Amino acid sequence: MNQELFTINNLWMMVATILVFIMHLGFAALEAGLTRAKNTVNILFKNTIIPALGILSYGFIGFSLMYPGEAFEGGFFGFSGFGLSLMDGWDTSAYNEGYTFYTDFIFQAMFAATAATIVSGAVAERIKLGPFIFFSLLYVGICYPIVGMWKWGGGFLQTLSTPFYDFAGSTIVHSVGGWGAIIGAYLLGPRLGKYKDNKINAIPGHNLPLATFGVFLLWFGWFGFNGGSVLSAAPGAVSLVFVTTAVAASAGAFGALFASYAKFKAYDITMVLNGILAGLVSITAGADMMAPWEAAVIGFIGGILVVFGVIFFDKVKIDDPVGAISVHLVCGIWGTLAVGIFGDLAGGAQILSQVIGIVAIGAFCVIFSFIIFYALKKTIGIRVDEQEEVEGLDINEHGMHAYPDFATKE
Amino acid sequence: MNQELFTINNLWMMVATILVFIMHLGFAALEAGLTRAKNTVNILFKNTIIPALGILSYGFIGFSLMYPGEAFEGGFFGFSGFGLSLMDGWDTSAYNEGYTFYTDFIFQAMFAATAATIVSGAVAERIKLGPFIFFSLLYVGICYPIVGMWKWGGGFLQTLSTPFYDFAGSTIVHSVGGWGAIIGAYLLGPRLGKYKDNKINAIPGHNLPLATFGVFLLWFGWFGFNGGSVLSAAPGAVSLVFVTTAVAASAGAFGALFASYAKFKAYDITMVLNGILAGLVSITAGADMMAPWEAAVIGFIGGILVVFGVIFFDKVKIDDPVGAISVHLVCGIWGTLAVGIFGDLAGGAQILSQVIGIVAIGAFCVIFSFIIFYALKKTIGIRVDEQEEVEGLDINEHGMHAYPDFATKE
Amino acid sequence: MNQELFTINNLWMMVATILVFIMHLGFAALEAGLTRAKNTVNILFKNTIIPALGILSYGFIGFSLMYPGEAFEGGFFGFSGFGLSLMDGWDTSAYNEGYTFYTDFIFQAMFAATAATIVSGAVAERIKLGPFIFFSLLYVGICYPIVGMWKWGGGFLQTLSTPFYDFAGSTIVHSVGGWGAIIGAYLLGPRLGKYKDNKINAIPGHNLPLATFGVFLLWFGWFGFNGGSVLSAAPGAVSLVFVTTAVAASAGAFGALFASYAKFKAYDITMVLNGILAGLVSITAGADMMAPWEAAVIGFIGGILVVFGVIFFDKVKIDDPVGAISVHLVCGIWGTLAVGIFGDLAGGAQILSQVIGIVAIGAFCVIFSFIIFYALKKTIGIRVDEQEEVEGLDINEHGMHAYPDFATKE
C-alpha cells in the first residue's frame, strides 16, 4: 500500500479511537443519569476508573491474549507475552497495511473497557466498589480478550467452515458485557424496595438530561466503533457503515417509542434512549453488509426487543437499573442472528454459525463471571450493607455527595 | 480524481457528518437549559426524536426532493423517487468526485433535522407533543428539502443570472428553521405569565451549565457544518472556513456582550451564549469567502442583532423561550445579506439576488408553516391546557420528572 | 510534499484544532463542577468569554508575537505586525509543508486561550470579573506568545546548545497557566472560611457529574492537543503520541487513587479526576518520545504529585478551588523534567536545559502576572466584597442564578 493511503487509513483509525474513547463518558453519563443522586459519585468513580484500568490492563496482558499471532493452538487460547512496550514496528507500514501497531493497540484498548462498563450499569446502586473493580480487571484483562481472540484473533470461530460473523462486536463486545451484567445482577439481587410487596416499583433516574447526554455521546462514538471496525478509511465501506449505524439507531428509537407507548400509554424518554442504543447494538454485527432498509428493520426490532426485555427482566426480578441487559445482551444476540437473516450472509449455515458463536462466547462469559462473582460473594462479599444502600454509596464509600449544594427530596 | 484524494475528501465529509450530528445534542442541551425544569423531559424527548425522525424521513423522501438530479422542471420542484435503498453506486467514485453516495446522504440528513430543532426551541414549554412531531415530520421531510433544492439542488435560485449564494445555509437551514419558529410561536401565543400585567416577566432557564454545554457543542459541530460544506478536504478552503467560523463566533460573543451590557448593565451569560450562535449563523452564508476581519465584523453585528432581536420579539409579545428566532431568523437574514455586502461577491446585483432568495424561501416557509400549524390548531389543537402548562409538560405528557431526587422551589 | 499528503496533514491539524477547542468546554465544566452553585454563572461566563477573547487577541497580536519569523533579535522578543488579515498564502502549500497558514493560526489560537483558562480555576469564587478579563487579555495576548516564541517561535530556548524540549507544552502552556494561577490565588487570598480557625475546611464542588464531564472532555481534546503537536499526520509519530497520552492519563488516575487512598482512606473521585489531568500534563512535554511504559511511570508519578500538591498548597494557605496549580504547574514542571530523565533525550545536559526553560519561563510569567494583578489590586481591586462572596458572584455580578428552579441547602 502506498504511503498516502496508509496515512489516511491510520488517521481514520485514530479518529475512530477518540470516538470510541468518548463512549466511556457516554456510559458514565447514561448510568449516572438513570440512577439515584445518592449513588452518583460511585457510578462516576467506576466509569472513570474503568477506562484507565482497561487501557493499562489491555496493554499489559489483554492485547497479547486477543491477538497472539501465530502462537495459539487449537483456536481457543493464545498469548504472545506481557507488556506492550516489548513490541515494536510501530513507525512503519510493516506491521499492517492499514495502520501502525500503536494505532491498532489503542483502538482495541478503547473497545476493551466497554465490556466492564456495561456490567457496571446493571449492578449499580448496590455493589461494593472493591469487588467490582477486581471483577472488571479480570473481565477486561482476561475474559474479553480470550473470547475476542476466538473470532478477531483468528481463533476457532473464525476457522469454522462457515465462519462466525460479528463485524464490530454485537456479540464479542456487547453480549460479553451483557452476560457479565446478568450474572452480576442475579448474584447481587435486586435493590431494596424494587420488588417489594410483589410489585415492581420503578426507581426513577435522577438526571434525565445527563442520561440523554450519555446516549447522544454513545451514538456519536458509535460512528467510530462501527466505522473504525472497517479497519481502513475505504470510502464505500465506511460511509455505508455510517448510514446503517445512523438508520438503525433512528429506527430503534421508533421501535421503542411504539412498543412503550402501546404498553404504557406514555412517551417514555428512557425507553426512547434505550431504543437508540438497542438499534446501535443490533446493527453492530452486520453494519458493513446491510442495505439501509435492512438496517432500519434490524434497528426497529431491536427497539421493540429492548422494551420487552426490560419488562421481562423485571418480571423475573433481575434488577437492572439502566436496562443494560436488555440493550447489550438481548440486542447483541438479536444483531448477531440478524447477520444470518439479512444481508450478504443470509442463510441457514450462517445462522448456525452465528448460534455457535453466541452460545460459545455466552457459555464462557457466564462461567467466567459466575466463578468470579460467586467467589467474591462467598469471601469478601459483593453487596454493600443495608444501611449503606439506603443512605447511598456516595457518602459511605466515597465520603462525598455529588450535588452537595442542592436540597434533595424524601 | 485519484483514489487518495477521493479517500481524504470522503473522510473529511464523514467526520463533518459526525460533527453535525452532535449539534443535535447541542440543541437539546441549549433548549433544555434555557427553559424550566418542569418541561425538561419534554424538550429532551423532542430533541431526541427529531434527529431520528429526520434521518429516516430524509432517507425516505427528503433527499430525493432536495437532490432530484435532472428530474425537476422549472426549478421549483423535483423528485427522484422514494427510498434511499433504491439508489446504488455508493462504493465507487462514480457518484461524485469528492465522496460516495452514502456520505452525501448521511451528511445531508444530519443537516435536515436542524430545521425542526430550531422550531422546537421557540415553541417550547407549551406545545403539544403529537402535533409538534407531526409538524416536524412535514417540515423536515418536505418543506426543507424543497427550498433547499432551489439552491443546492440546482433550482431556480441557482440559475438566476446572479445566483443566490448561501454557502452552508444561513437562509437554507437557519432561517428556514426561524420562519417555522416565528409562525409556531405566534400561533401558540406566549407562555402563561410571560407578558402578564403588561410587563415582560423573564422566565429564567433552569440549568445554565446545560445551556453552556449546548452552545459549545454547537460551536464544535459548526466546524463540521461549515467546514463540511466545502464538500472536500481542500486545505485552503476548509482552513479559511475554520478561521472565519471561529472568528465570527468569538466576535458574536463580544457583540452580544457589549449590547447587553449597554442595555441591562449586567454580564448576561445567556446573551453571550446566544451571541456566539448569532456569530455562527451570520457567517454561515459566506464562511468560504470572507477575510477574517470581515468575519469579525459580520459576527459582531450578528451578536448585537441578537440582543435587539430578543428585546424586539418580547415587545411584540412573540414569546421565544430560547431566543431561536433572533438567532436563526434575524441572523440568518443578516448573514445572507452580508454575502452581498462583504467578500468576493459584494455588489448590488448580488444583494438583490440575496434578497430574492431570502424572500422566496421565507414566503414558502411561512405559508407552509402557517398552513400546517393553523390546521393543527383548528383540529386537534397545538397548545397544552392551562393546568398542564402550570404543572409542567413532563408529568402530564411523559409521566416523569427530569430530576426526581431534587427539591424544587415554590 | 505532494498534494495528497499535504491534504491529509492539514486535515489532521484541523481535526486536532476542533479537539483542542472542545477542551475549553472541558475546563468550563470542570471548574464549574468543582466550585459552588452560587458562583456557577460566573465561571461559565469566564470560560465562555476566554476562548472568544483568546481567538480574537491571538489573531490581532498574539500570533505575530509568537511566530515573528525572521523579525526578532536576540531570541527574546519579536513581532511581525498587527492583524491576521494582513497575511496571505493560506491556500497553497507554499506557507508550510504540512498545513496552510490558516490551519496554523487557528490551531495555535485554540492553544492560546488555555493559559488564561487555567488561571480561571485557581482564582474562582472570589475574583472580580472585569479585572480577570483584563488580566486574561494581556496574559493570552502578550505573555503567553512571548514565552511561547522563546521555544516554538525559534527563540533563545530553541537555540541553546542543547535545546530546551517541550513537545506540546507542559511548560509553555500548562505551567504558564499555573504561574498565573499561583500569583492570582496568592494575591487574592483564600475564600472566606477556607482556612478558618486554623483548620482546612473543604468546600466541596457542587456538581460532580459536571466535573467528570470536564475531565473526560479534556482527555478527549488532549488527543488533539498532543496529537496535533506532531504538526502532521505521520502515522508512527501520532499513534505513539496517542498511546503515551492515553497510558499516562490512565496511570495518573491510579497514582492519584493510591496516594489519596493512602492519605484519606476514601475513594475520592475529585482526586482521580485531577490524577488523569496530572498524567496528561506530565506526558505533554515528551509525548512523542516516550515508550508506553515510560509514559505510565511519568503519568503515575504525576498522579501522586497532584495529591501532595493539593495538600501542600492548602498547608501554605494558597486556596486553589479546583487544584489547577497542582495539576498544571507542579505536573507541568515534572513533565518537563521528565524529558531529561526518560526517553530519547535523557541525560544531564538535557536536564539542565529543561531547568533553564522552566526557570526562564517561570520567572517571566511570575513577574508579568504579579505586575498586572498587583496593579489591578491597588487600583480597581481584584476581589469582590465580602457580602458578594457570601451571597455568590452569580447574583451580584450577573443578576441570575445557574439553577433557579432548585432549592439549595442552607
Q: How far is CA A389 from CA A164, B6, C196, in A?
A: 43, 57, 34
> Could you write out the DSSP letters of every residue in B16-69?
HHHHHHHHHHHHHHHHHHTS-GGGHHHHHHHHHHHHHHHHHHIIIIIHHHH--G
Nearest to C220 among A10, A22, A41 (CB): A22
Q: Work out the minimum CA distance from A167 to partner chain C, whole angstroms.
A: 24
A with C: how many residue pairs have Cβ under 8 Å apart?
176
Q: pLDDT tens digits, residue range C81-131?
A: 787 655 555 555 667 878 998 999 999 999 998 888 999 999 999 999 999
Please indicate whether, in this complex, the C-beta atoms of A102 and C242 are within 8 angstroms of each other. Answer: yes
The one-letter amino acid code at C310 reads: V
Please indicate whether, in this complex, the C-beta atoms of B242 and C8 are within 8 angstroms of each other. Answer: no
Which residues in B lie closer than 8 A to residue C90 (C-beta atoms)?
236, 239-240
List all residues 6 or more positions away from B43 whose beta carbon is below 8 Å from its beta carbon. Answer: B28, B31, B32, B35, B120, B124
Nearest to A133 by CA among A120, A150, A147, A149: A120
The mean pLDDT of C296-311, rounded to a whole number, is: 98
In a domain, C75, yes or no: yes
Q: pLDDT tens digits, residue range A130-142?
A: 999 999 999 999 9
User: What is residue B90's predicted lDDT score, i.e. its pLDDT?
Assistant: 55
The mean pLDDT of A97-115, rounded to a whole number, is: 90
Kindly provide the ipTM of the predicted complex, given to two decimals.
0.97
In a domain, C295, yes or no: yes
Whether A89 has a pLDDT exceeding 90, the answer reads no
Nearest to B100 among A36, A235, A409 (CB): A235
Please indicate whether, in this complex, the C-beta atoms of C397 and B267 are within 8 angstroms of each other. Answer: yes
- Domain with B22, as residue range(s), is 3-398
User: What is residue C209's predicted lDDT score, i.e. its pLDDT?
Assistant: 98
Q: Work out the minimum CA distance from C162 to partner chain B, whole angstroms.
A: 35
Please indicate whether, in this complex, the C-beta atoms of A99 and C223 are within 8 angstroms of each other. Answer: no
* Phi, psi (deg, nearest 5) at residue A408: -105, 160
Whether A114 has a pLDDT exceeding 90, the answer reads no
Mean of the per-residue pLDDT values for chain A?
Answer: 94
The mean pLDDT of B250-272, rounded to a whole number, is: 96
CA distance B282 to B332: 6
Nearest to A206 among B47, B56, B404 (CB): B404
User: What is residue C409's predicted lDDT score, i.e. its pLDDT?
Assistant: 85
| Ranges of H-type helices in C265-347 | 269-284, 292-315, 324, 331-341
DSSP A319: -
> Could you write out the DSSP letters of every residue in B280-330?
HHHHHTTTTT--HHHHHHHHHHHHHHHHHHHHHHHHTT---TT-HIIIIII
The mean pLDDT of A340-358, rounded to a whole number, is: 95
Query: C343: phi > 0 → left, psi -120 to 50 → alpha, else beta; which?
Result: left
CA A401 to chain centre: 28
Nearest CA in chain A to B50: A250
Q: pLDDT tens digits, residue range A142-181?
A: 999 999 999 999 999 999 999 999 999 999 999 999 999 9
Residue to mutate among A239, A289, A406, with most B CBs inside 10 A, is: A239
Please indicate whether, in this complex, the C-beta atoms of C251 and A56 are within 8 angstroms of each other. Answer: yes
List all residues 6 or more positions away from A295 whose beta carbon is below 8 Å from its beta carbon. Answer: A243, A244, A245, A247, A248, A251, A283, A287
Q: How far is CA B238 from CA B13, B285, C7, C10, C101, in A?
A: 11, 14, 10, 9, 12
User: What is residue A81's predicted lDDT score, i.e. its pLDDT?
Assistant: 79
List all residues 6 or more positions away from C304 whose beta carbon is below 8 Å from its beta carbon. Answer: C255, C256, C258, C259
Chains with at least 3 CB pairs less than 8 angstroms from chain A: B, C
Nearest to B40 among A209, A240, A266 (CB): A209
Please indicate whether, in this complex, the C-beta atoms of B216 and C24 are within 8 angstroms of each other. Answer: yes
User: What is residue B267's predicted lDDT score, i.e. its pLDDT?
Assistant: 95
Which residues in C lie closer than 8 A to residue B269 (C-beta atoms)?
41, 44-45, 48, 398, 400
Residue C200 has which C-alpha cell? 482546612
pLDDT band at B85 (very low <50, low <70, confident <90, very high): low
CATH of the domain at C228: 1.10.3430.10
In a domain, B408, yes or no: no
CA distance B269 to B212: 9
CA distance B236 to C7: 9
Please indicate whether, in this complex, the C-beta atoms of B404 and A408 are within 8 angstroms of each other. Answer: no
User: What is residue C22's predicted lDDT score, i.e. its pLDDT?
Assistant: 98
Q: Work out the minimum CA distance from A119 to partner chain B, whole angstroms.
A: 24
User: What is residue C115's predicted lDDT score, i.e. its pLDDT?
Assistant: 86
Please indicate whether, in this complex, the C-beta atoms of C235 and A401 are within 8 angstroms of each other. Answer: no
Q: Work out the minimum CA distance from A154 to partner chain B, whole angstroms.
A: 27
pLDDT band at B358 (very low <50, low <70, confident <90, very high): very high
CB B349: neighbour CB atoms within 10 A?
A: 12
User: What is residue C75's predicted lDDT score, i.e. its pLDDT?
Assistant: 81
The mean pLDDT of C198-207, rounded to a whole number, is: 94
Q: Work out the minimum CA distance from C405 to partner chain B, whole angstroms.
A: 6
Residue to mutate among C3, C405, C409, with most B CBs inside 10 A, is: C405
Whether B295 has a pLDDT exceeding 60, the answer reads yes
B168: helix, coil or strand? coil
> Could you write out the DSSP letters of every residue in A205-272?
-S-HHHHHHHHHHHHHHHHHHHHGGGSS--HHHHHHHHHHHHHHHHHHHHHHHHHHHHHHSS--HHHH
- C266/C84: higher pLDDT: C266
Whether C13 has a pLDDT exceeding 90, the answer reads yes
Which residues in C lie closer than 8 A to residue A397 (C-beta atoms)?
266-267
Nearest to C44 among B208, B219, B233 (CB): B208
Residue C23 has which C-alpha cell? 477542551
Nearest CA in chain B to C10: B235
CA distance B397 to B395: 6
Which residues in A lie closer than 8 A to residue B102 (C-beta atoms)?
236, 239-240, 242-243
Please indicate whether, in this complex, the C-beta atoms of B250 and C17 are within 8 angstroms of each other. Answer: no
Please indicate whether, in this complex, the C-beta atoms of C269 and A400 are within 8 angstroms of each other. Answer: yes
User: What is residue A88's predicted lDDT score, i.e. its pLDDT?
Assistant: 53
Whether B91 has a pLDDT exceeding 60, the answer reads no
Q: How many helices (H) and strands (E) does chain A have?
A: 16, 0
DSSP A286: T
| Ranges of H-type helices in B58-207 | 63-66, 101-122, 129-138, 144-151, 176-188
User: What is residue C342's predicted lDDT score, i.e. its pLDDT?
Assistant: 94
Query: Quick one: what percent of chain B has pLDDT higher than 90?
Result: 88
pLDDT band at B78 (very low <50, low <70, confident <90, very high): confident
Nearest CA in chain A to C403: A406
User: Containing H/E element for C377?
Assistant: helix C348-378
Q: Work out the minimum CA distance from A277 to partner chain C, whole angstroms.
A: 20
In a domain, B150, yes or no: yes
CA distance A336 to A285: 5
Nearest CA in chain C to A95: C236
Residue C107 has which C-alpha cell? 490551531
Q: Work out the minimum CA distance from B151 to partner chain A, whole angstroms.
A: 25
Nearest to C285 by CA among C378, C135, C164: C164
CA A16 to chain centre: 16
- B330/C73: higher pLDDT: B330
CA distance A260 to C93: 56
pLDDT band at A91 (very low <50, low <70, confident <90, very high): low
- Please answer whether residues C67 and C80 qualify as being in contact, where contact means their C-beta atoms are separated by less than 8 angstroms: yes
Which residues in B lie closer than 8 A to residue C92 (C-beta atoms)?
236
In a domain, C283, yes or no: yes
The one-letter amino acid code at C380 reads: I
In a domain, C409, yes or no: no
Q: pLDDT tens digits, residue range B191-249?
A: 999 999 889 999 999 999 999 999 999 999 999 999 999 999 999 999 999 999 999 99
Q: pLDDT tens digits, residue range A270-325?
A: 999 999 999 999 999 999 999 999 999 999 999 999 999 999 999 999 999 999 99
In a domain, A405, yes or no: no
Q: Work out the minimum CA distance from A407 to partner chain B, whole angstroms.
A: 6
Chains with at least 3 CB pairs less than 8 angstroms from chain B: A, C
CA distance C14 to C20: 10
User: What is residue A94's predicted lDDT score, i.e. its pLDDT?
Assistant: 65
pLDDT band at C253 (very low <50, low <70, confident <90, very high): very high
When divided into structural domains, chain A yields a total of 1
Please indicate whether, in this complex, the C-beta atoms of A400 and C237 are within 8 angstroms of each other. Answer: no
CA distance A242 to C395: 46
Q: pLDDT tens digits, residue range C314-332?
A: 999 999 999 999 999 999 9
- Least confident span in B74-88, B159-173, B348-362: B74-88
In a domain, A319, yes or no: yes
The one-letter amino acid code at A233 reads: A
Please indicate whether, in this complex, the C-beta atoms of A238 and B10 are within 8 angstroms of each other. Answer: yes
Quote the pTM value. Answer: 0.97
CB C249: neighbour CB atoms within 10 A?
A: 30
User: What is residue C26's predicted lDDT score, i.e. its pLDDT?
Assistant: 98
User: What is residue B367's predicted lDDT score, i.e. its pLDDT?
Assistant: 98
The one-letter amino acid code at C190 reads: P
B with C: how many residue pairs have Cβ under 8 Å apart?
175
Q: How far is CA A154 from CA A243, A291, B21, C206, in A?
A: 28, 27, 35, 49
pLDDT band at C1 (very low <50, low <70, confident <90, very high): low
